[in-house]
Chains A and B, each alone.
Chain A
Amino acid sequence: MGVEICVEGLTKSFGHQVIWQDVSLTLPAGEVSVMLGPSGTGKSVFLKTLVGLLKPDRGSITIQGRDITRLRERDLYEVRKLFGVLFQDGALFGSMNLYDNIAFPLREHTRKSESEIRRIVLEKMDMVGLLGAEGKLPGEISGGMRKRAGLARALVLDPEIILFDEPDSGLDPVRVAYLNQLIVDLNAQIDATFLIVTHDIASARQVPDNIGLLFRRELVMFGPREKLLASDEPVVRQFLNGRMQGPIGMAEEKDAAQVEQELAQIDEDGPAGAPAPRLLPGPGITRPPRWEAIARREAELHGAEVTSP
């Protein structure tokens, strides 16, 4: 049953360059959150800070009553067992085949018998649709398969928190759609807290409960999906609509006068329409009460076609 992550006043800089400052947010237990942001706004750094791979300059990250920015190395390794992280390219161990990769955490941390490990590994591989590829080496498979294998490895210790670092980068739209469905299904099945770092707007519109946006070295906004999709904040609107007009420029920032002018132009387009329908767990998945409630609300918003079969 997921765990809440409470981030307060987090600031990180490399040398004199501030990456982001005063980031405060709470990832609610068991919910799916997306962290958006233009390239180079330190989304991956944020993710690495959450798992304690990087130390922030200031601020705290509280998980189960423990501030992981102040933990000793030994305790940090204990807390990390709560986490499953999907790295950008899967970060599989290149010298091991997929089966050994996914079995690795079990072999290192548990005293399970080889047959039990086999059962768990095959179950997780089935979950991500990789059955039959156990003997392949990471170098022999496609990027999408590597990501799914990385996900299976992240799932194997039954984590309470799963972090996804750009799950959609380098994948074709169809695979992205499948991966998003997989993420939603997983959330319904294992009830962990999810944080997805991405710049794919389509996924951000469909998948999460909450959206956050990092821009200009700070967290512009973090809140429920509906609130951000309907937001009038220029940066949020520009990013969620993928437009050139707005405060975000090619080299990150534009001058104020130009932004004013561009915004005046868009305002004629009128406010954003109703939020896109949410992605729901697939037909074969038993929905926990939380997802039942979401499905009912979606049905009211968008008509009967999205109700559960």
Chain B
Amino acid sequence: MRLSPTGALRQSGNLFAMALDVVRSLPRRPFQAREFIQQAWFVASVTILPTALVSIPFGAVIALQIGSLTRQLGAQSFSGAASVLAVLREASPIVTALLIAGAGGTAICADLGARKIRDEIDAMQVLGIDPIHRLVVPRVLASMAVAVLLNGLVSVVGVAGGYFFNVVLQHGTPGAYLASFTTLAQLSDLWAAEIKALVFGAIAAIVASYKGLTAQGGPKGVGDAVNQSVVITFMLLFVTNFVMTAVYFQVVPQRG
């Protein structure tokens, strides 16, 4: 492939065009329920365990950092509040984003890319079936659903990990830790995190599908596509996260 100054623009244009195609195909019947369930199960199965394992140390690190700080300030009773706030607002969407892109997105991209280079996608189009409707839409929806659920999982496991480290290892007070949960965090934080996860899931699946469906040049092409899809997704997710967080702070009044 030759480098051209318009290449990057064309790529992002095509990606956006496919995102629009996905939106347009969403209401089309028949809905591919079978594919959706299979994909949701598949994405969940490749992400649940790594997500849980990543979120334990994540919660623990936050608890450790906050724990020593609050003790020096004499504000141990607030360590629960800070820990919940950090996990719920930032850690869980970020962990979800990393895992949904790193584990779910790569799997989707590799699967579609392998199908593409084996001519399966062309064959499907020739058989009169739109791969966007048949393959991409169920994957995007599955990835969104799983991302929302994963976000819940990360929040619970992260907070539990924080509790364990704060209470058991740093000898914090269990009651104070639990009681201070809602001093800084509020319910809208959870909603905001879930909406973030929903958007992250959609972005990860659309980028992965786009990269997979445009893979070319044999098995190496699939490898390249997977690699690029992870990098692009990460960049998009972190930018989106920043924007959504900024908007959230403007829209929802904060406590404390």
Q: Which residues of A contact B (CB under 8 A)?
A: 15, 48, 51, 53, 73, 77-78, 80-81, 83-85, 87-89, 91-94, 104-105, 108-109, 150, 153, 157
Instruction: Count B interface residues, CB 8 Å.
Output: 16
Smallest Cβ-Cβ distance to A104: which chain B residue: B127
Beta-carbon contact of A53 and B122 below 8 Å: yes
Beta-carbon contact of B120 and A53 below 8 Å: no
Smallest Cβ-Cβ distance to A108: which chain B residue: B129
Say which residue of B120, B126, B130 sits within 8 Å of A83 (CB atoms).
Answer: B126
CA distance A240 to B123 in the complex (A): 30
Say which residue of B114, B119, B125, B134 sits within 8 Å of A80 (CB atoms).
Answer: B125
A87 contact set on B, CB distance < 8 A = 119, 122-123
- With most chain A CB atoms within 10 A of its CB, the pick from B114, B125, B134 is B125
CA distance A127 to B2 in the complex (A): 46
* Known contacts A15-B2, A94-B114: A89-B119 contact under CB 8 Å: yes
Determine chain B's interface SS by DSSP, over half rule: helix
Beta-carbon contact of B114 and A105 below 8 Å: no
CA distance A308 to B146 in the complex (A): 64
CA distance A105 to B127 in the complex (A): 6
Could you write out 19 A-B pairs with CB less than 8 Å apart?
A: A53-B125, A73-B130, A77-B129, A77-B130, A78-B128, A80-B126, A80-B127, A83-B126, A84-B126, A91-B118, A91-B122, A91-B123, A93-B123, A93-B124, A94-B118, A105-B128, A108-B129, A109-B128, A150-B123
CA distance A87 to B122 in the complex (A): 9
Smallest beta-carbon distance A196→chain B, Å: 16
* Known contacts A88-B119, A91-B120: A53-B126 contact under CB 8 Å: yes
CA distance A91 to B32 in the complex (A): 22
Smallest beta-carbon distance A153→chain B, Å: 8
CA distance A214 to B129 in the complex (A): 30
Beta-carbon contact of A81 and B128 below 8 Å: yes
Q: Which residues of B contact A (CB under 8 A)?
A: 2, 114-115, 118-120, 122-130, 134
- With most chain A CB atoms within 10 A of its CB, the pick from B115, B124, B128 is B128
B129 contact set on A, CB distance < 8 A = 77, 108
Beta-carbon contact of B128 and A51 below 8 Å: no
CA distance A94 to B120 in the complex (A): 8
Smallest Cβ-Cβ distance to B30: which chain A residue: A108
- With most chain B CB atoms within 10 A of its CB, the pick from A89, A91, A92, A93 is A91
B134 contact set on A, CB distance < 8 A = 108
Say which residue of A80, A85, A88, A92 sits within 8 Å of B120 (CB atoms).
Answer: A92
CA distance A53 to B120 in the complex (A): 13
B123 contact set on A, CB distance < 8 A = 85, 87, 91-93, 150, 153
Smallest Cβ-Cβ distance to A87: which chain B residue: B119
Smallest beta-carbon distance A186→chain B, Å: 18
A109 contact set on B, CB distance < 8 A = 127-128
A53 contact set on B, CB distance < 8 A = 122, 125-126
CA distance A105 to B126 in the complex (A): 10
Considering the complex of A and B, which 8 residue pairs feature the smallest CB-CB distances, nearest first?
A91-B119, A91-B123, A87-B119, A85-B126, A81-B128, A80-B128, A105-B127, A77-B128
CA distance A105 to B119 in the complex (A): 16
Smallest Cβ-Cβ distance to B38: which chain A residue: A95
Smallest beta-carbon distance A253→chain B, Å: 23
B130 contact set on A, CB distance < 8 A = 73, 77
Smallest beta-carbon distance A205→chain B, Å: 28
A91 contact set on B, CB distance < 8 A = 118-120, 122-123
Smallest beta-carbon distance B88→chain A, Å: 38
B124 contact set on A, CB distance < 8 A = 93
B118 contact set on A, CB distance < 8 A = 89, 91, 94
Say which residue of B2, B122, B127, B128 sits within 8 Å of A48 (CB atoms).
Answer: B122
* Known contacts A78-B128, A81-B128, A108-B127: A93-B120 contact under CB 8 Å: yes
Smallest beta-carbon distance B142→chain A, Å: 16
A105 contact set on B, CB distance < 8 A = 127-128
CA distance A105 to B129 in the complex (A): 9
A84 contact set on B, CB distance < 8 A = 126
CA distance A73 to B124 in the complex (A): 14
Smallest Cβ-Cβ distance to A86: which chain B residue: B123
Smallest beta-carbon distance B118→chain A, Å: 6
Smallest Cβ-Cβ distance to A105: which chain B residue: B127
Smallest Cβ-Cβ distance to B1: which chain A residue: A15
- With most chain A CB atoms within 10 A of its CB, the pick from B120, B125, B126, B129 is B126
- With most chain A CB atoms within 10 A of its CB, the pick from B114, B118, B127 is B127
Smallest Cβ-Cβ distance to A165: which chain B residue: B119
A93 contact set on B, CB distance < 8 A = 115, 120, 123-124
- With most chain A CB atoms within 10 A of its CB, the pick from B119, B124, B125 is B119
Smallest Cβ-Cβ distance to A80: which chain B residue: B128
Smallest beta-carbon distance B25→chain A, Å: 11
CA distance A85 to B125 in the complex (A): 10
B119 contact set on A, CB distance < 8 A = 87-89, 91
Smallest beta-carbon distance B90→chain A, Å: 38
Smallest beta-carbon distance B186→chain A, Å: 45
A83 contact set on B, CB distance < 8 A = 126
B128 contact set on A, CB distance < 8 A = 77-78, 80-81, 105, 108-109
